[in-house]
Chains A and B, each alone.
Chain A
């Protein structure tokens, strides 16, 4: 052990109350940071999860045909009849190739080819317009977790079985085993059997979405072997734009939509939330740093005689400053450790009292606790710089002379 460290430790030990208060100050600062950071991160994660957790993050569709393109790109001055607009989404015929090409991408956690179309559902004299989604159950399950969210019936969509939402089931007074008629835009009426009822925790989805087998949907909408879209989820949703760009250049003639583009408002809300959190964290660190700095500055004055005698006995300037830098470092490390425990405790207590209302689960990451601790330790060491310099420049004669 260097003798500077030994002296630093003794100085800290001798000023017990002072050390305790400064430690508490750092600890509270660190705890607030951990609490606030974890709270904001968890809140954002849950918000993002609610928004896109059970939906397609990246959707690949066929490029628009000429008529649609003109209609969407040109303004109202274009005199084209709305009747020219295709009622069906254009089919993606080479989709198996695309799926094969994307299969190798490690970012992808779910890839699900779908057919989307509209129809009218009819039961016991009541009509309601619905969104039909033809899926391969096992792939779509990775995105929508249909199997897990089934309230009634079985997760089966073979043959003429379909799955409907809870709201639709209520509205039409139908349930598992009911027979319903679907009226397609082309005027065809087909009978289906309700295999199960799901609850995707979204009112409008529960009211209008109907799942059926992909092949059955291809037949219903007369798409041959084509599909209308490929829905994809990736491991880090915030990478969606990058992945979409990559695939656009790889696949060429397709349309790729991703959630970030469609949720600009949410993203900017998240960003401003983050920056306000960072601002608070910055000022907490600043306050802690100033606190440490002033306490250590007082300590230099208190210990000036001791430093003077050490210098008279041959301590160098470097050693004299190191004694105070080490004190800052030790305070930072100990304060961060105590603060981490305090922060985790605070989170658990918060969790305990907020168990009932809302289902927000606050997660803390060890990596972010480590980073916060390291920043606090660095700040504490930085705070000791000025006191350390004063200690280094202390004139031993002046310090000793005054008795």
Chain B
């Protein structure tokens, strides 16, 4: 079980040039393959910052990041873009689908980015994933024609299309009602069980965090507990 998927050492992230704000203060973190973990903490504690660093959306001010033993904090922008496309799936609080595209097209976009061209290679897989998230009958709906919960489920399918090793979710249920929230978490757990990719979920809801295998608690840019 000790297959380390992603590891951060001595991560420091500072914002601002004149007045420096330290969002992350010497954080060490590691996540195993297939693990289902959550990060909790009050807003401003640095949990989203940590997620962005692990997802290669941002670079640390200091410290190293390793993915399957290979350092990626020193990759160039092109390599990082490719890394995000192939290895990481993102789910955001405000789902961020492209409203100009249908549900199916939204799911396919990461595969288009991967190959550079619009193709139907992964069409079957996309339909399969939409079926998994319970939206088989909505595949050709324009994405802004779906409810909030449905949109979030489309974005989960989108995060999975390129078979990533790690899915990062930033408050995935932040603007959903409690029923949809429950459904989304059940779904994420199910995918974790069936497809075996690791999940790291940022939330401020302890009740939800308790459903994961591991809870990392943060405060003022530091990890204060990891169970």
Interface residues of A (CB under 8 A from B): 1-3, 5-7, 10-11, 13-14, 305-306, 308-317, 319, 396-397, 400-401, 403
Contact: A400 with B92, CB < 8 Å? yes
Q: Measuring CB to CB, which residues of chain B are less than 8 angstroms from any residue of chain A?
A: 48, 52, 55, 57-58, 77-78, 81-86, 90, 92-94, 96, 98-101, 109-110, 112-114, 116-118, 158
Assembled-state Cα–Cα distance A396/B81 (Å): 11
- Chain B residues with CB under 8 Å of A310's CB are 98, 109, 113
Q: Are B77 and A316 neighbours in the complex by a CB distance under 8 Å? A: yes
**Interchain CA distance A49-B20 in the complex, whole Å:** 77
Contacts of A10 in B (CB 8 A): 98, 100-101
B85 to A313, Cβ gap below 8 A? yes
Query: A309-B96, A309-B98, A312-B92 provided; 7 other pairs, C-beta below 8 A?
Result: A314-B81, A314-B114, A315-B81, A316-B77, A316-B81, A396-B57, A400-B94
A-side binding surface: helix, strand, loop or mixed?
A: helix
Q: Is the CB of B117 within 8 A of A14?
A: no
B217 vs chain A, min Cβ distance (A): 22
- With a CB–CB cut-off of 8 A, which chain B residues contact A314? 81-86, 110, 113-114
Expressed in whole angstroms, the Cα–Cα distance for A396 and B88 within the complex equals: 15
Which residue, B57, B77, B90, B100, has most C-beta atoms of chain A within 10 A?
A: B100
Checking B82, B93, B100 against A11 with a beta-carbon cut-off of 8 angstroms, the contacting residue is: B100
Contact partner of B57 (CB less than 8 A), chosen from A2, A11, A397, is A397
Q: Is the CB of A317 within 8 A of B116?
A: no
**Which residues of chain A come closer than 8 Å to B86, judged between CB atoms?**
314
**What are 12 A-B interface contacts by the 8 Å CB criterion?**
A2-B116, A3-B113, A3-B118, A308-B96, A312-B90, A313-B110, A314-B82, A315-B81, A316-B78, A396-B57, A397-B57, A400-B92
Say whether, besides A3-B113, A3-B117, A319-B113, A397 and B58 are in contact (CB < 8 Å). yes
Q: Which residues of A contact B82 (CB under 8 A)?
A: 314
Q: A11-B100, A313-B85 are in contact. Are A2 and B117 (CB under 8 A)?
A: yes
A397, B114: Cβ atoms closer than 8 Å = no
Q: Please state if B96 and A317 are interface contacts (CB–CB under 8 Å).
A: no
Query: Contact partner of A400 among B84, B96, B100, CB < 8 A?
Result: B96
CB-CB under 8 A from A312, the residues of chain B are 55, 57, 84, 90, 92
Cα of A313 to Cα of B87 in the assembled complex, Å? 10
A18 to chain B, nearest CB (A): 13
Q: How far is the CA of A14 from the CA of B81 in the complex (A)?
A: 27
Q: Tell whether, in the assembled complex, residue B118 and residue A1 are in contact, meaning their CB atoms are under 8 Å apart.
A: yes
Q: Which residue of A lies closest to B174 (CB)?
A: A403
* Distance between B47 CB and nearest chain A CB, rounded to angstroms: 13
Given contacts A309-B98, A313-B84, contact A397 B112 (CB under 8 A): no
Q: Once bound together, how far apart are the Cα atoms of A403 and B48, in whole Å?
A: 14
| A6 and B112 contacting across the interface, CB-CB below 8 Å | yes
Which A residues touch B93, using CB under 8 A?
Answer: 403
CA distance A337 to B57 in the complex (A): 42
Contact present for B113 and A315 (CB under 8 Å): yes
Q: Within the assembled complex, what's the spacing in Å between the Cα atoms of A312 and B100?
A: 18
| A292 to B177 alpha-carbon distance, docked (Å) | 42
Interchain residue pairs A-B with the least CB separation, the first 3: A314-B85, A3-B112, A10-B100
The CA-CA distance from A309 to B101 in the complex, in Å, is: 14
The CA of A314 and the CA of B55, in the complex, are separated in Å by 11
* Listed residue (B82, B98, B114, B118) with the most chain A CB atoms within 10 angstroms of its CB: B98
Write the nearest CB–CB distance from B199 to chain A, whole angstroms. Answer: 17
Contact between B100 and A13, CB atoms less than 8 A apart: yes
C-alpha spacing A279/B116, complex, angstroms: 42
Q: Is the CB–CB distance between B117 and A1 below 8 Å?
A: yes
Complex Cα spacing A11 to B78, Å: 24
A400 to B155 CA separation, bound complex (whole angstroms)? 14
Q: Which residues on the B side are within 8 Å of A2 (C-beta)?
A: 116-118
Instruction: Output the least CB separation between A326 and chain B (Å).
Output: 13
Q: Separation in Å of the B34 CB from the closest CB of chain A?
A: 22
Q: Give the docked Cα–Cα distance between A315 and B98 (Å).
A: 14
Bound complex: CA of A270 vs CA of B117, how far in Å? Answer: 52
Instruction: Name, among A6, A313, A401, the residue most crowded by chain B CB atoms within 10 Å (CB to CB).
Output: A313
A317 touches which one: B57, B77, B84, B90 (CB < 8 A)? B77
Interface pair A313/B90, CB less than 8 Å apart: yes
Does B114 lie within 8 Å of A14, measured CB to CB?
no
CA–CA, A309 to B143, complex, Å? 15
- Would you give the shortest CB distance from B101 to chain A, in whole angstroms? 6
Closest to A309 in B: B96
Chain B residues near A313 (CB-CB < 8 A): 84-85, 90, 109-110, 113, 158
Which residues of B are found within 8 Å of A319, using beta-carbon distances?
A: 113
Residues of B within 8 Å of A400, CB to CB, are: 92, 94, 96
